[in-house]
Structure 1
Amino acid sequence: MSIRPVLSETRAMPAVEGAGVQLHRAFGFRNPDELDPFLMFDDFRNDRVQDFIKGFPWHPHRGIETITYVLAGSVEHGDSLGNRGVLKGGDVQWMTAGSGILHQEMPLGNAKGQMHGFQLWANLPASLKMTAPRYQDVKGRDIPEIMDDDGTVVKVIVGSFWGKTGPVDGIAADPQYLDIYVPPGRRKTFKVDTYRKAFAYIFDGKGTFRDASNPQGVLLEKEVRGEEVNIRDMSGNRTLVKFGTGDEVTVQAGPDGIRFLLISGAPIQEPVAWHGPIVMNTDAEIRQAMADLKNGTFIRPAH
């Protein structure tokens, strides 16, 4: 067994997207090889309705998959294929843009005007860039939740873990997406397949990750304040932890416990050409996508 080294820890940075949505970006638009197959990760946590209510009006996607996980509030969505729906607290949506889709996502606050959720972008390999678009909307009640004897709780959103398999399937990146809570003072080890790129995103509580280069000590100790629904401190820290190669991650929870996402996926290792919401393999493919948008052929007919 080998502990994954901690390559870096960084805080998510403020960003504005859509029609003025205030959010925090943990990574994206820099080095697509760094966390291949993942391209971008946003944390949209806010308690001011005016900072998110204008949402993400109609916009295109091609060549990627987007994963939206809602903790508080709700998100209404619609697309060019006629799909409509509402994601509520605990729900997940996995959208495969494939050959092209136009959609909108409009966040709504909970009764207290708060909104909290995450969106992850995953790349598609060249062989699936032009696959047919599809949605997988999953209700929170259908996501397996496992409680260990020591009080550790793991929600298995995608992939298999501790004998349970998440309801989202058929994803090109073969990802594992876990929402993990470790109770106060507990040390816990989680297996991660060696061949996967992996990162953790801490969004509640405090803890430390053991590092292969310093197994006896503490390399990271970052505090994140905020609750799943009653978000007490909106300026709280949001920490991204990038891991190197190994087959396990060990975390020591602080006095209030720790909650984080642990996400891993198989690298695609292909060239990336990226223009906003469109991610292809070559600049020529990007130009073709832009031409398709202009001449009305971006949305391909269903076969």
Structure 2
Amino acid sequence: MPSLAVHLARALRAVVGRELLKFLRQPSRLASSLVRPLLWFVVFSAGFHNVFGVAIIPPYETYVEYKVYMVPGLLGMIALFNGMQSSLSMVYDREMGVMRLLLTAPLPRGWLLVFKLLASTALSLLQMLVFLLIALAFGVEADLANWLLAIPVMALGATMLAALGLMLSVYIKQLENFAGTMNFVIFPMFFISTALYPLWKVEESGALWLVQIAQLNPFTYVVELIRFAMQGQFNATAFAVVLVGGAVFFGLALRGYDPQRGWTRQRG
């Protein structure tokens, strides 16, 4: 009889390997995933270069160009959209794809969800690294050593957002409901954060309630964690929020996919 490790290895190959191979066999998918952040990067960095004079705020020790400030936020955008895309993939696979079969396999449900989480994180990280190379080509000044050290932090942020998408897939029962649900998740999380502008700019305009919401937004801490890491600094608060947030989201997803409690039981 094959051991548990063999079963887990087969499930890992089925979930993670399948997602990576699908992505690598579709170069157009990589291009389309980068169109959105590149459009923001090119248009906004040019249009708002003189509007947003980013002051000396942590983690920066001097005034920085707006395009330098934008990069961590756009990296977070890539991870956020890919996490939600993985949620859509999970809904589809659960209804008529491979996950429908895997969820009935004699393996702990938690392992299958971990593998799905790893697949989404790997895809997000790959896209984020490609975007960093493009940012360098556009003349973004960077300390390459700090950027390399930021890769584990980027992976952690991508994992938290993938866990959020996994949790949402519990409650999205049909593909038709996906677009509406995502509009209530992606855009508020992205815009009410520090991805495109520092919070002092929002506070200066008098919108204190927006500042408070942004401070409660887990995506803000993903962006700040990446931003500090790319400057060779460690943001302990952001790290704690991202780590705990990822654990909570995954725990809720695991509960939702528990056949005795969540989605399976509701479906009968």
Higher normalized helix content (fraction of residues): 2
TM-score (norm 1): 0.28
TM-score (norm 2): 0.31
